[in-house]
Amino acid sequence: MSKHMSANEKAYIAALRYQWLTPMYDRVVKYSTREHTTKHALLDMVKIEAGEHVLDVGCGTGTLALMAKTAQPYALVFGIDADKHILDIAQQKVRRQRFHVQFSQSWADKLNFAPNTFDCVVSSLFFHHLQWQEKLAVATEIMRVLKPGGRFGIADWGEPSSLVMRYLFKPVQWLDGYSNTQENLDGKLKLMLEITGFQSIETVKHFNTIFGTLSLHLAYKPFNS
């Protein structure tokens, strides 16, 4: 549910649109998006190395950030999300698993990090929540905090691989919005990366799920930025 705020504040939509559904988020994502397979594929794609600084944008309950830390214990992993309630779940996971992952509440288009901080930024199932200008603003901010030559990996809904996949995606559009999700279906995430200055943009893999086609994209910040 969109939070109603003053004119000087932003609004966000909870992970499953309604705040009361937040505790079910992990179970829904696990069984509807082939989460284990797609997130491992995302981490295999970006190849995090020891000592690197890694940021998960729109980290939700922290699953991907914790998987990144597990895959490379000597990386410094951070996660940001605007939703305090979902970050509470992420913090509980950190305490249970005894990993050092730093989560903080932040808007993705105003990251609380200095320029050229991160070697790698990842994001899973976040960009389809954003309208076009918001997508561009967040990608621009990610470009700012990446080091020259840094890489950006996205796992999100993409162009459907078949008519069946297109129809299976309709519940996602009902839940998360039509115009913003349609941009993903139209393949505009690659256009977003091009417009904001990323290079060597590649769609690495596609995964069919019970709610449509998930795509993995990889892009790099130019060395001369």
Phi, psi of 186 (to 5 degrees): -80, 5
Residues 6+ away with beta carbon under 8 Å from 182: 173
| Contact (CB, 8 A) for 90 and 59 | yes
Could you give the 3-state DSSP secondary structure of residue 41?
A: helix
User: What pLDDT was estimated at residue 16?
Assistant: 44
Report the distance separating Cα 109 and Cα 50, nearest Å: 27
63, containing H or E segment: helix 63-71
Domains of the chain in start order, with CATH, are 19-220 (3.40.50.150)
pLDDT surpasses 70 at 57: yes
pTM to 2 decimal places: 0.86
User: What pLDDT was estimated at residue 175?
Assistant: 87
Give the max Cα distance, the chain. 46
Report the distance separating Cα 136 and Cα 202, nearest Å: 18
| Contact (CB, 8 A) for 113 and 88 | no
**For all residues of the chain together, what is the average pLDDT?**
88
Helix (H), strand (E), coil (C) string for 145-185 = HEEEEEEEEEEEECCCCCHHHHHHCHHHHHHHCHHHHHHHH
pLDDT surpasses 80 at 8: no
Average pLDDT over residues 26-46: 79
Average pLDDT over residues 87-98: 88
User: What pLDDT was estimated at residue 149?
Assistant: 98
Q: List C-alpha distances in Å: 174 to 128, 129, 132, 170, 208.
A: 12, 12, 18, 6, 19
Average pLDDT over residues 75-104: 91
Residues 6+ away with beta carbon under 8 Å from 147: 116, 117, 118, 119, 221
